[in-house]
Structure 1
Amino acid sequence: MTQTPGPAAAAIRDHAGEIDDLRRRLEGVRFTSALIDRGAPAPASMLAWISARLEPHVREQDRIVEFLAGNLSIAAARLRATAAAFEGEPDAPPMARVTATSYWAPEGESAPSVDFAAEAELAAQIQGLARTMAVEEWAEGSLAEPRRPAPLDTAAVAAVPHGVEKALEFQPDVLAAQVRAWRHMSAELQRIAQDLRHRLVHDMPEWTGEAHAAYCWLMEHNVNSAVALGGAAAGLAAAIEGVGIVTAATRELIRERTAALLHVLNTWAENDDQAPTTTQLVTAAVQWALTVASHLAALARSLRNLNTLLRS
C-alpha cells in the first residue's frame, strides 16, 4: 500500500519516543523490585519462610520484565529505522524490507510468530495466582482475619516459649514495605499496558500496510504480557500480606491464651482460700498447651496451603 513518507515518518518517530518512555517505566519497575528488602531475615522467621518460597517467582517476574523492556527497545529501534527508510536516509534499510511483514519477525525467523497456546496458559496461571493468593483462599478459620494487636502484656509474652515466639517473628514494617512495593509495581504495570494499547490505537494513523499490521499485532502481545505481570505482582503482594496476617493472628491468639492462663494462676496465688489442686494446675496447663498447639497446627496447615499454591 502506498505510504505518505513525510507525515508517516514523523508519526513513527514520535511513536518510537513513546515506546522508549514506556521502556524506561519498565526499567523503573525492575529498579523497584531490586530495591525490595529481601535481606537476610532470621532463618526461623516467617519473613525467611515467605522470602524463600517467593524467590523463584520474583526471579521469574524480573526476567520477564527485563525481556519485555528488551522487546520495547528493539521495537523503538526498528520504528526509527522505518522512519529513516521513509525519509530516504542513506544508511536506512531498503523500503521493501521495512514495509514487509517479515521486518517484525523475531531474529532468525522469516515471519512474526507468537505462541498463542503458551500465552493463553500464562494468562490463565497469572489470573489464578492473583485470585488464589488472597489470604481468605488459603488460611484456616480465624487466621484469615486481620487482628488488631491487644495492649502488650509483657508477662504473657515472656511466658510464651522462646522457640514459639521466635518462629512467629516477621518484621511487620519490612513485610508491609514489600507489600506496598509489589502493589506499586502491579499498578504501574497495568498502567503501562493501558498506555501501550492507547498508543497502538491512536498513534501513527498515517502508517499503513502489512508491516504496520504486523507491528501492532506483535505489540498487542506485549500489552497482554504487561497485564499478566501486573497480575503476578498483585498475587505476590497478596501472598506476602497474607503471611503477615496469619502469623500476627497466631501470635496474638497464643499471647491471649497465655495471658488468660497467667490471670488464672495469679488469681489462685492471691487467694489463699482457693488454692488449686494438682489436678486443676495440670488441667490448666494442658488446656493451654492444647490451645497453643491447635493455633500452631492451623498456621502450619495454612502455610502448607500457600506453599502448594506457589508451586502450582
Structure 2
Amino acid sequence: MTGQIVRHAGQVEAVRVRFAAVHEASAVVVGDETVYGRLCRWIIDTVLEKHARQDELVSYVEENLRLIVAGLHDLYGVRRPAPDPVREAALPSLVAPVEHSARAAMERIGPLRDVLDDLTGLPDVIAAHARTWYTIAAEQQAMADELEAFLEQDPPEWTGAAEHVRLMGHNVEAIRGLGSVSAAFGEITESVGVLVAQTRRLVRELVISLAVAPTDATLWRLACRIAVYGVALNATLTHLEDRLA
C-alpha cells in the first residue's frame, strides 16, 4: 500500500510541476502591455483584471497540489523526495514563438516603424500570445484528465481515501475551469490582435495620405474607413465583454 501511495503522490507531483510551468507561461503573455500600443492598450485592461483573479486561483490550486503530495508522504512517514531541477528544466516551453509577418516597405524605415509600434502595438507578438493561451488551455485540460485518470486507475484503499478523492475532485474541476478561462483569453487576445492590426493599417494609410498632397476623395475614403473601423470596434468590444462576463 505504501508503494501505491508513493506512486500516486509522484503522479500528482508531476502534474503540479507542469501546472507551475503553465503559471509561468501565463505570466509571460501578460507581462508587457506595450505590445498593444498606446491606441489599443485600454482594450486589454479588463482582460488583465480578469487574469489577476485567475492567477490567484492558479496559485491556490498549485499550493493545494503541493500540500496533497506532502500530506500523502507524511501520512505514512515516507520521506518526501527533493525537488528535481532536471525534470523541471526539461519541461517544454508553452510560450509560442513570434512569427514576424512581412511588413510593408514603409514600415521598414526605422523611425516610422518605431512610431507605429508605439502607437499601434505589435500584432505578431499578440498573435503569439493568443497561441500561448490556447496551448495553456489545452495543457490544463490534459492535466485535469490525467488527475482524473489517476484517481480512477489507482483507487486508494488507505484510511481517509474518500476525503482525498473528494479534495482531488475539486482540484480537477478547478483546473478544467481554468482551462476554459484560458481558452477564452486566447480568443479575446486573438480578437484584440485583429483590432491592433486594423489600427496599424489605418494609421499607416493616414501617414501615406498626409505625406502626399491629399485630395478630397482620399480624405473621404479614409473617413469612410475610420467609420467602418469604429463600427467593427464597437461590435468586437461587445463580444469581448460577453466572453468575460
Q: Work out whether 1:216 is the aligned partner of 2:165.
A: yes
Structure 1: tracts of 5 or more residues without a match = 1-7, 90-148, 156-162, 267-280
The alpha-carbon distance between structure 1 residues 202 and 38, as it changes in their structure 2 partners (threshold 3 A), is same
Q: Sequence identity of aligned pairs in percent?
A: 26
The alpha-carbon distance between structure 1 residues 257 and 181, as it changes in their structure 2 partners (threshold 3 A), is same
CA-CA distance at 1:214 after TM superposition:
2.0
Q: Work out whether 1:19 is the aligned partner of 2:12.
A: yes
Deviations 1:105-136 (A, max 9, x none): xxxxxxxxxxxxxxxxxxxxxxxxxxxxxxxx
Residues of 1 paired with 2:5 and 2:117: CA distance? 59
Q: Is the 8 A contact 2:37 2:119 kept in 1?
A: no
Residue 244 of structure 1, aligned match among 166, 177, 193: 193
The alpha-carbon distance between structure 1 residues 252 and 43, as it changes in their structure 2 partners (threshold 3 A), is closer
Partner of 2:76: 83
Alignment of 1:107-122 (within 5 A): none
Structure 2: tracts of 5 or more residues without a match = 80-100, 108-114
Counterpart residue type for residue 232 of structure 1? V
Q: Is the 8 A contact 2:38 2:121 kept in 1?
A: no
Residues of 2 paired with 1:40 and 1:250: CA distance? 16
TM-score scaled by structure 1?
A: 0.58
Partner of 1:194: 145
The alpha-carbon distance between structure 1 residues 19 and 236, as it changes in their structure 2 partners (threshold 3 A), is same
Q: Is the 8 A contact 2:15 2:143 kept in 1?
A: yes
Alignment of 1:33-48 (within 5 A): 33-36=26-29, 38-41=31-34, 44-46=38-40, 48=41
The alpha-carbon distance between structure 1 residues 76 and 154, as it changes in their structure 2 partners (threshold 3 A), is closer
The alpha-carbon distance between structure 1 residues 204 and 11, as it changes in their structure 2 partners (threshold 3 A), is farther
Partner of 1:158: none
Q: Work out whether 1:175 is the aligned partner of 2:126.
A: yes
Q: Work out whether 1:67 is the aligned partner of 2:18.
A: no
Counterpart residue type for residue 180 of structure 1? R
Whose Rg is larger? 1
Counterpart residue type for residue 237 of structure 1? G
Local SS of the residue matching 2:31: coil
Local SS of the residue matching 2:120: coil
Residues of 1 paired with 2:26 and 2:51: CA distance? 8
Partner of 1:9: 2
Q: Work out whether 1:296 is the aligned partner of 2:229.
A: yes
Q: Work out whether 1:203 is the aligned partner of 2:170.
A: no
Residues of 2 paired with 1:43 and 1:307: CA distance? 18
Local SS of the residue matching 2:73: helix
CA-CA distance at 1:310 after TM superposition:
5.9
Residues of 2 paired with 1:227 and 1:34: CA distance? 19
Local SS of the residue matching 2:76: helix
- Aligned residue pairs total 214
The alpha-carbon distance between structure 1 residues 169 and 181, as it changes in their structure 2 partners (threshold 3 A), is same
Q: Is the 8 A contact 2:206 2:222 kept in 1?
A: no
CA-CA distance at 1:200 after TM superposition:
0.4
Residues of 2 paired with 1:31 and 1:44: CA distance? 26
Counterpart residue type for residue 169 of structure 2? E
Q: Is the 8 A contact 2:133 2:186 kept in 1?
A: yes
Q: Is the 8 A contact 1:180 1:237 kept in 2?
A: yes
TM-score scaled by structure 2?
A: 0.72
Counterpart residue type for residue 124 of structure 2? D
CA-CA distance at 1:304 after TM superposition:
3.3
